Amino acid sequence: MLELKYPNVKPTYNKLWRGREKAIEQLFGSWEGAYNKLPSHLLAIQGTTPGTVIKWLAPTCGNPNRAMFLAAAWAFGPCIAAVPYLRPVISIDASFLSGRYRGKLLAAVGYDPEQRLVPLAFALVRTEDEACWGWFMKFLRDYVIGEKKKFCVVSDRHWGIRNTFKRPQYGWEESANPSYAVHRYCMQHVCENLFKACGRDLSLVEKFRSKLANKKKRRAYERMWNELTLTHPEAIAYLTKCGKEHEQDDREPAKPERWAQTHDGGPRWGLMTSNGSESLNSRYKAERRLPVVGLVEGTWYKTVSWFNERKLLSFERNAEGERWPKTIQEKISKRTLKAVGINVVPIDQMRGEFEARVPYEKSEPGVTWKYKLLIRRDYQPTDPQLPTRRAVCQCRKPQLTGIPCVHVIAVCSKYRWEVDDFVDDKYSTENMLKIWSSGEFHCYGDEENWPVYDGPLIYPDRRMINRGRRKKDRDWMWMDAMRKNKNKRNRGKEPLTTMEDVQSGRRTTSQRTTRTSTRNRAQSSARERGETSRTGANTSNDPVQPSRNSISTDPRTESRLGLGIEGLQPRRNSISSDPRSVSTRYPSQQASSSRGGRGPTESTSSAGGRGIRTGFAKLGARIRNNISGWGR
C-alpha cells in the first residue's frame, strides 16, 4: 500500500517499526499505560453488557499507590447465559502474547449443536503454571459454570492443568465424592507425545489415532491393543502411564478413559480434541500483539460479531420449521441410507431389546455382525406419562454422542418409530437459538465515557519484557504437517511435506521461515521442480536459505503487523535479493547479468554464503581496477 502511494520513497525497517509503535500508542495507549487502563475498560464493558463478570489481581508492593499486574479474567454476560443450553463439555487452552510484555492468554470455550465455538471466559496471566490455571479454573467454576454442575474438560497434559483437578480449593477435584468434574486429554496432544516417545514412528501414531483412541467398540480396541503390545511395547508403556495421576507409581491402575473413547462413558460427547480452544486462540493472533486493552477489545468485538451472525442464522433455521441443524440432519440422513440392509430381530419388545444383524461383505461374505440394542419408547403416543430414554447399542455411538446409530435407525424404520425421539435435545434448533439469543451486547462508548478507576496505579512487571525477536507462531508439531498434507491432497496437489520430513522432525523451507523473500521462494520452488534458474544452472539439491536481514514482500506481512503495512522494504544494510537493485546501484554489473552470469548478490548454492562472498569479491576487484585506472 505504501509502495503504491509513494513509489519513490524507500523507508527503512526501523522507521516503519517506529511508525507502527506510534500508531499503536495512539489507538490503545502506551504498553505500560494500557495496564492502568485495563480496570476502566473492563468496568465499562461490565456496565453496558448485563451479566458480565470481571476480576483482576494486582497487589501493592510496599507503596499503597502502586500495584503490580498479575492477572485479569473476564466473561461476557451472554456467554454465561448460554451455559445451561450447551452440552456439558468445554475445552481450555493457553496461548502466548507477542507484544512487548510476555504473558499468557487462557481461554475456555463451549460448543453449539453445529460444533461452532462459544467463548465462555478469558484470562491474562503471567505464565502457565498451577497457580495461574487454578485461579482461572476457580473463576470459571464460581462465575461461569456454577457450583454442583458436572462438566467435562478437554485439555492437553500440562502439569498445571492436571494439578488443578487434584486440589479441592479450585472446585474441580475429580476424586471428590460426589465429583462435578471430569478431565479428559486431547487426542492430538497425546499423539504428539507418543510420536516423540516412540522414535518418531508415523505409522504407529496413525494406528493409535484411527484404530485405538477413536474406536468406540471394545473388541476393536482390544484387538489393536494386543497388536501394539507385541509390535510396540514402548507405546503400551507410555499409554499405560499416560492417564495416571502419578506416572511412576506402578501400583496405581491405568486410566485409559482419559484418552480412549471406548472407556469414556459419554462425558466427552464425542469431542476428542481441544481444537476449539486452540482455534479460538488463533483467531486472536493479531490482537495478541497489541497492548492488553487492545486484546480485551478484540475479544469483545469478535464475540459480538459471532453472536450477531449466528443469532440470525438460528432464527432462519428455526423459522423454516426444522427440528435439527443442518449438520445433525445430514448425519441422520446418511445413517438412514446405511440402515436399509440391516435385519432387525426382536428379542423382548416390551423390554426394548432387539438384535441388529449387519451383513459384512467387505472381507468375508456371509459373515454378520450382531448388535444388541436396548430401545424403549412410548408405545402409546396418547399417554404422555410413559417415559422414554436414550437408546443403548453395543456399537456405543448413541451413548457416547447422543445421536442414534444405524442400528437404532433400523429398529425405528421397522416399527415406524420417530428417529427424532432418540436424538438428544441439546442438538435441537430451538436449543441452538437459545444459546445465541440468551443475552444482549451494548456498546461501551469511548474512553471519555468509561468509569473512573480510583485504585492504585497498575504497572506491569518489568521483568516480563520480551527480549529479542518476538515469537508470533506456536511451535511446529507433526499434526500441522499432516493437516497440510491432507489439505493439499484434497485439492489434487502435491503435499507440502514428505513423510521422511515428518518422521525426522524436519521442516520444509516454507515452514522454517515466514520471512522468505519472493525471489528466494521462486528459486526454491524451481529447484524442487528440477528447473533451471535464469541466473544460472541449478547444481544443488538443497533449498535456498533466505537472507536473515531480508523482509518479506508477502501480503501476509499486513496480518503479522496488524496495521495494514504491506511489503516492508529491506534495511539499508541488508542484502537485496532482486537483481534489478544490483543493476541500479552498479551499472557495470548489468551486462554480466544479461549474459547469464551471476550477480554479486545471487548464488546457486544454499550451503553458507560462498556465492555471495564470491560476488562481492569480484565487485571489489572491479572497483579497485576502476580506481587504479583513474590514476593512469
| Span 547-575, average pLDDT | 38
| Span 251-260, average pLDDT | 86
| Span 371-390, average pLDDT | 47
| Span 124-150, average pLDDT | 94
Closest CA to 121 of 151, 99, 100: 151
The greatest distance separating any two alpha carbons of the chain, rounded to the nearest whole angstrom, comes to 116
C-beta of residue 259 within 8 angstroms of C-beta of residue 186 = no
pLDDT score for 358: 80
Most confident of 82-86, 177-181, 377-381: 82-86
Residues of the chain with pLDDT > 70: what percent?
A: 69
| Span 130-149, average pLDDT | 94
pLDDT score for 560: 34
DSSP character string of 135-170 = HHHHHIIIIII-TT--EEEEE---HHHHHHTT-GGG
Q: Could you tell me which residue, 376 or 5, shows the higher pLDDT?
A: 5
Categorize the per-residue pLDDT at 615 as very low, low, confident or very high, splitting at 50, 70 and 90.
low
pLDDT score for 578: 43
pLDDT score for 280: 81
Residue 547 has pLDDT above 70, yes or no: no
**To the nearest 5 percent, what fractions of the chain are helix, strand and coil?**
45, 15, 40
Least confident of 31-40, 61-70, 102-111, 518-527: 518-527
Q: Is 441 helix (H, G, I), strand (E, B) or coil?
A: coil
For 324: left if phi > 0, alpha if psi spans -120 to 50, otherwise beta; the answer is beta
Most confident of 18-27, 273-282, 494-503: 18-27
Q: Counting Cβ atoms within 10 Å, is residue 172 exposed (0-12), middle (13-18) or buried (19+)? A: buried
pTM of the model: 0.72
Domain boundaries, the chain: 187-265, 326-424
Residues of the chain with pLDDT > 90: what percent?
A: 34
pLDDT score for 304: 95
Residue 52 has pLDDT above 90, yes or no: yes
Amino acid at 85: Y
Compute the mean pLDDT over every residue in the chain, rounded to the nearest whole number.
76
Residue 133 has pLDDT above 90, yes or no: yes
81-121 confidence digits (pLDDT tens): 999 999 999 999 999 898 889 899 999 999 999 999 999 99
pLDDT score for 524: 54
Residue 336 has pLDDT above 50, yes or no: yes
Categorize the per-residue pLDDT at 63 as very low, low, confident or very high, splitting at 50, 70 and 90.
confident
Q: How far apart are CA 263 and CA 482, in angstroms?
A: 27
Categorize the per-residue pLDDT at 563 as very low, low, confident or very high, splitting at 50, 70 and 90.
very low
Closest CA to 33 of 107, 101, 95, 103: 101
| Span 130-140, average pLDDT | 95
pLDDT score for 574: 40
Q: How far is CA 420 from the centre of its chain?
A: 33
Q: Could you tell me which residue, 31 or 545, shows the higher pLDDT?
A: 31
pLDDT score for 105: 93
407-450 confidence digits (pLDDT tens): 899 999 988 888 988 899 999 999 999 999 988 999 998 888 89
Amino acid at 115: Q
pLDDT score for 482: 58
pLDDT score for 454: 87
pLDDT score for 491: 47
pLDDT score for 335: 93
Crossing angle (nearest 10°) for helices 187-197 and 478-490: 110
Q: Which residues contact 459 (CB under 8 A, 6 or more apart)?
A: 32, 35, 36, 66, 67, 68, 69
Residue 192 has pLDDT above 70, yes or no: yes
Alpha helices, DSSP H, located in 198-351: 202-208, 218-231, 233-242, 275-283, 292-319, 326-338
Categorize the per-residue pLDDT at 630 as very low, low, confident or very high, splitting at 50, 70 and 90.
low
